[in-house]
Amino acid sequence: MTALPHTAVNPDQLLYPYWAEITQIKPETEGVGSIWLRFEDPAIRESYRFLPGQFNMLYLPGYGEAAISISSDPQDTKGMVGHTIRFVGNVTKAISRLKAGDVIGLRGPFGSAWPMDEIEGRDVVIASGGIGLAPLRPAIYHILHNRQKYGKVLLIYGARTPKDLLYPYEYEQWRAGGIDVQITVDRADETWDGQVGVVPMLFYRFRLDHQKSVVLTCGPEIMIRFVIYEGLARRIPAERIYVSLERNMKCGQGSCGHCQIGPYFICKDGPVFRFDALEKFFNVEEY
């Protein structure tokens, strides 16, 4: 069976999964966990590569597939791929009941990536909320590995409460690597001495050089919308704002039709879009 180089996608069989063993399940926050997968086929383990922002389709026989972003380091795979999953429904809840050693199907990687090369030399603002940090973490790792290629890097990350913050154990490392990590929560109790507010709000706490800045954003669509308003209000042009979107999807290959928005298939033309491509319909209700 022929696999395209670097991918676990079979061009001759529709939806054909490649088996991977769960090497580790790591609880992250309430209802969210990371799973690490290792392909059973050593050839794929060797050749599989992905770019920050891409996703896999994870398959559990009997339950179905779910699109899940890759949340691990693209450079340092050691034959393993990490995903951070919010256990919400049929497939994802079934995944939450698996344990290390269990096997799961995987197809991928699919979709467009964060424009890590094009944005070299720029100030980078990463604005994310909730589980939306997962698809941005590979971009963060990429920046840490290539820190000198970027200007100022500001990560604004928000979650509902302090308990819902993803990857808190890595923030210090990111800061040490030269990223200004700003954390905020929607609400807290009096033991929280961090920031309370929402992600878009943090935009006006920082002076952004609109000539130099790019924005990468992922999170609840409503948050993305407000981040875009704030970015545009700070005169960062739509061509320098990148968003990652989520829609129902079944194939990941621009065939099943589900994920369309205007002329785009989010699974192949996205999930990462330059905002000027979306501007025309992003605010059309229910489009």
Partner 1 sequence: MLNNPTINSTISLPKTEFDTLLAALRELGYQTIGPRVRDESIIYTHIEKLSDLPQGYTSKQGPATFRLVKSNHRRYFDVIPGAQSWKQFLFPPRTHLFTVEKVERWDIQPNAEKPPRYAFIGVRGCELAAIEIQDRAFLRADFHDPVYRARREGLFILAVNCLHPAGTCFCASMGTGPKVQGGYDLCLTELEDTFLIEIGSELGRDVISRCQYEPASGFLQSAAAKGLERAAGDMGRHLSLDDLPSLLTDNLELEHWDEVGKRCLSCANCTQVCPTCFCWDATDHTDLLAHSTRRERVWDSCFNPQYSYVFGGNTRPTIKSRYRQWLTHKLGAWKEQYDTFGCTGCGRCITWCPVGIDLTEEIAALRKEAQA
Partner 2 sequence: MAADPEVVSALKNIPWFAELKPEHFNRMAEAATMRHVRAGEELFKEGDKEDCFYVVIEGRVALDIFVPHRGKVRIYTAEPMDLIGWSVATPVVRHRTASATVVQAGRLVGFEAEKIRQMSEEDHDFGYIFMRRIANIIAGRLMVTRLQLLDMFAEPNAETRHAQ
* Contact call for residue 152 and partner 1 (CB under 8 A): no
**Count of C-beta atoms within a 10 Å radius of residue 173:** 13
Choices 91-99, 136-144, 168-176, 187-195 (CB under 6 A): range interacting with ligand FAD: 91-99
- Number of neighbouring beta carbons within 10 Å of residue 285: 4
Binding ligand FAD by CB under 6 A: which of 27, 42, 61, 89?
Answer: 89
Contact 149, 121 (CB under 8 A): yes
CB-wise, 204 or 287, nearer to partner 2?
Answer: 204
Closest approach, Cβ 19 to partner 1, in A, equals 6
Does the footprint of partner 2 cover residue 201 (CB under 8 A)? yes
DSSP states along 199-253: GGGGGGGS---TTTEEEEEESSHHHHHHHHHHHHHTT--GGGEEEE-----SSSS
Interface with ligand FAD includes 11 (CB under 6 A)? no
What residue 164 binds from ligand FAD, partner 2, partner 1, none (CB within 5 to 8 A, per partner kind)?
Answer: partner 2
Binding mask 21-60 toward ligand FAD (x if CB under 6 A, else -) reads ----------------------------------x-----
Helix (H, G, I), strand (E, B) or coil at 59: strand
Sequence-separated (6 or more) residues with CB below 8 Å from residue 100? 22, 23, 24, 25
* Six-digit token string for 219: 């999170």
Residue with tokens 């990687």: 109
Give the helix/strand (H/E) hosting 120: none
Distance of closest approach, residue 72 Cβ to partner 2, in angstroms = 23
Name the one range near partner 2 by CB under 8 A: 47-55, 64-72, 171-179, 197-205: 197-205
Q: What is the dihedral of CA 205, 132, 26, 53, to 10 degrees?
A: -110
Q: How far apart are CA 148 and CA 145, in angstroms?
A: 9
Count Cβ atoms below 10 Å from residue 100 Cβ, excluding itself: 11
- Provide the 3-class DSSP secondary structure of residue 66: strand
Q: Give the binding-site size for partner 1 (rule: CB under 8 A).
A: 40
Q: Which is nearer to ligand FAD, 202 or 267 (CB)?
A: 267
Q: Name which of 30 and 239 has its Cβ closer to partner 2.
A: 30
Among 149, 210, 234, 247, binds partner 1 (CB under 8 A): 247
Q: Distance between CA atoms of 35 and 47, rounded to whole angstroms?
A: 20
Q: Which is nearer to partner 2, 205 or 235 (CB)?
A: 205
> Of 89 and 194, which has the nearer Cβ to partner 1?
89
Residues in touch with ligand FAD (CB under 6 A)? 55, 64, 66-69, 84-86, 88-93, 131, 134-135, 246-249, 271
Residues in touch with partner 2 (CB under 8 A)? 88, 129-130, 159-160, 164, 186-190, 192-198, 200-201, 204-205, 219-220, 222-223, 226
